[in-house]
């Protein structure tokens, strides 16, 4: 599976991007009403596994890069695993980001004023 962020359709309110692909590599969506159904829980579990896998892949890639004796084959395998994990993490980020509540402009301005007053 490879996630192409530029080819993915724009997030649609009320639809959750799932962490797997359909036929032909097309993205899968779930109509999520916030009820936390079986598919939603399964998607949550898979996303959590993908994030853990990404952490493991990162550690492995760092180890390969730190090994001055690592050959081209090891570097290619590390890069392939890293790009796969990075694609999964981007999909998770896009899915979760699309489900964040939209903040009204007035709320954003109030938050910005509060941050400025705290920093002085």
Could you tell me what percent of the chain has a pLDDT over 70?
Answer: 87
Task: Find which of 9-13, 19-23, 50-54 is predicted with most confidence, using mean pLDDT.
Answer: 50-54
Q: Per the domain annotation, does 30 fall within a domain?
A: yes
Find the domain containing 52 and state its range.
15-98
Q: Per the domain annotation, does 46 fall within a domain?
A: yes
Q: Per the domain annotation, does 118 fall within a domain?
A: no
Write out the E strands in the chain.
15-21, 27-31
Residue 85 contacts residue 58 (beta carbons within 8 Å): yes
Looking at residues 113-118, what average pLDDT do you find?
A: 72
> pTM score, two decimals?
0.76
Residue-wise pLDDT for 25-71, tens only, equals 888 999 866 667 899 999 999 999 999 999 999 999 999 999 999 99
pLDDT at 3: 82
Residue 17 contacts residue 29 (beta carbons within 8 Å): yes
Torsion-angle region of 27 (φ positive above 0: left; ψ -120 to 50: alpha; else: beta): beta
The neighbour count for residue 24, using CB atoms within 10 Å, is 5
Q: Per the domain annotation, does 82 fall within a domain?
A: yes
Q: Which of 29, 1, 31 is nearest to 94 (CA)?
A: 29
Q: Per the domain annotation, does 2 fall within a domain?
A: no
Residue 15 tokens, joined: 């639809």
Q: Per the domain annotation, does 86 fall within a domain?
A: yes
Could you tell me what percent of the chain has a pLDDT over 90?
Answer: 55
Q: Per the domain annotation, does 112 fall within a domain?
A: no
The overall average pLDDT reported for the chain is: 87
Binning pLDDT at 50, 70 and 90, where does residue 119 land? low
CA distance 78 to 85: 10
Q: Per the domain annotation, does 9 fall within a domain?
A: no
Q: How many domains does the chain have?
A: 1
């Amino acid at each position: 599976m490879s996630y192409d962020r530029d080819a993915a359709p724009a997030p649609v309110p009320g639809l959750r991007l799932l962490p797997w692909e359909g036929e032909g590599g097309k993205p899968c969506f779930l109509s999520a009403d916030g009820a936390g159904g079986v598919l939603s829980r399964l998607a949550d579990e898979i996303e959590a596994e993908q994030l853990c896998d990404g952490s493991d892949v990162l550690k492995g890639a760092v180890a390969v890069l730190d090994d001055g004796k690592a050959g081209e084959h090891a570097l290619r395998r590390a890069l392939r695993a890293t790009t796969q994990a990075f694609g999964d993490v981007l999909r998770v980020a896009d899915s979760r980001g699309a489900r964040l509540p939209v903040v009204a402009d007035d709320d954003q301005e109030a938050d910005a004023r509060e941050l400025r007053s705290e920093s002085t």
